[in-house]
Amino acid sequence: MKSTLKALLMAAVVVAAPMMATSSASAEGEKYILVSHAPDSDTWWNTIKNGIALAGEQVGAEVEYRNPPTGDIADMARIIEQAAASSPDGIITTLADYDVLKGPITNAVDQGIDVIIMNTGTPDQAREVGALMYVGQPEYDAGFAAGLRAKGEGVTKFLCVNHAIQQPTVGERCRGYADGLGIDLGDAMMDSGTDPSEIKNKVLAYLSANQDVDGILTLGPVSADPTIAALKENGMAGSIHFGTFDLGEEIVKGIKDGTINWGIDQQPFLQAYLPVVILANWDRYGVLPGNNINSGPGFVTKDGLTKVEKFAGEYR
């Protein structure tokens, strides 16, 4: 098993450069469509695109990435319906809003299309819509683990900067964090929006009005990067506890210079790569893992940053 994983990682290094040029891999064979909830502006999903591209190349399948340009969930529902209408061999999709997306996903399953839920949603929700399995990070559990760690590191009052308030599952990170700390979430979860300037200004204003806040949690690069800028502007960088979900170039820099205490890596590369490989093997040989796959959480600190820094935004 270890040798197989090592070979896959080596392959990722070899093909890293060409994979950056495209978000889909074309070859003769099965066709799979990955539908995400991410807007075009969210560069974190480049790692997802790299994951499906490499997997498609290796298994000889065509893999296409689709998403709502603005991140609108209703638009995403329509994209899933359109994807199902094209009769692919399989659909890989996030389940960012169960109530909105369960219908289109269930309809795809009823049409005989194999579905794997990745990234957002839960194993229980994946089962309820008839998906083969779930590959991702249990959001509440990850937030709870972050809260326990932050509590041990002295955090008593926090701000959670949520750039995806319209996606209920993402908010579970903030709720889990509060429970891990053992305090009420209250009004600590900020609806920051996605505009970098607005996020920065909102963080500055909140910290100015709540000077007893000693911890910050951001939910990805979209909210982390402007928060880094805010802390550098108000002189709090390195003096306030700062944890974040996900990785990215600025986040890795922040961990390295001490602005960020740790990042939580849900390994998006695996969330995209594994479903393609699983679907191909299911279609060809009828073999399927017996359990859902948790791709995270894992804490990334200054220790062992070398490989993470090298591949941040590409494969990490």
pLDDT digits (tens, 9 = 90+) for 219-276: 999 999 999 999 999 999 999 999 999 988 899 999 999 999 999 999 999 999 999 9
Side-chain-side CA neighbours of 15 within 13 Å: the count stands at 17
Name the class of domain 2-137+267-296.
Answer: alpha beta
Tokens for 281, please give them. Answer: 């093997």
Q: For residue 3, what are the contacts with CB-CB under 8 A and spacing of at least 6?
A: none
Question: What was the pLDDT predicted at 254?
Answer: 96
Q: Is the peptide bond before 289 cis (omega within 30 degrees of 0)?
A: no
Question: What was the pLDDT predicted at 308?
Answer: 85
The residue among 282, 29, 265 whose CA lies nearest residue 131 is 282
Q: Residue 132: pLDDT above 80?
A: yes
Query: Predicted confidence band at 7 (pLDDT cuts at 50, 70, 90)?
Result: very low
Residue with tokens 């996606």: 167
Question: What was the pLDDT predicted at 184?
Answer: 95
Tokens for 195, please give them. Answer: 């505009």
CA dihedral 47, 49, 50, 51 (to 10 degrees): 90
Query: Predicted confidence band at 194 (pLDDT cuts at 50, 70, 90)?
Result: very high
Beta carbons within 10 angstroms of residue 249's beta carbon: 14
Distance CA 2, CA 167 (A): 36
User: For the domain with range 139-265, which CATH number is right: 3.40.109.10, 3.40.30.10, 3.40.50.2300, 3.30.70.890?
Assistant: 3.40.50.2300
Question: What was the pLDDT predicted at 310?
Answer: 84
Q: For 79-100, what is the mean pLDDT? A: 97
Question: What was the pLDDT predicted at 28?
Answer: 56
Q: For 93-97, what is the mean pLDDT? A: 94
Amino acid making up residue 269: F
DSSP H helices in the chain? 2-19, 46-59, 73-85, 98-110, 123-128, 139-152, 168-181, 196-209, 221-234, 249-257, 268-285, 305-311
Question: What was the pLDDT predicted at 27?
Answer: 45
The DSSP output letter for 111 is T
Q: Residue 5: pLDDT above 70?
A: no
The residue among 116, 119, 64, 95 whose CA lies nearest residue 246 is 119
Q: Residue 183: pLDDT above 50?
A: yes
Sign, CA dihedral 56-62-68-70, equals positive
Q: Are 54 and 25 in contact (CB under 8 A)?
A: yes
Residues of the chain with CATH 3.40.50.2300: 2-137+267-296, 139-265
Q: Are 275 and 215 in contact (CB under 8 A)?
A: no
Question: What was the pLDDT predicted at 248?
Answer: 85
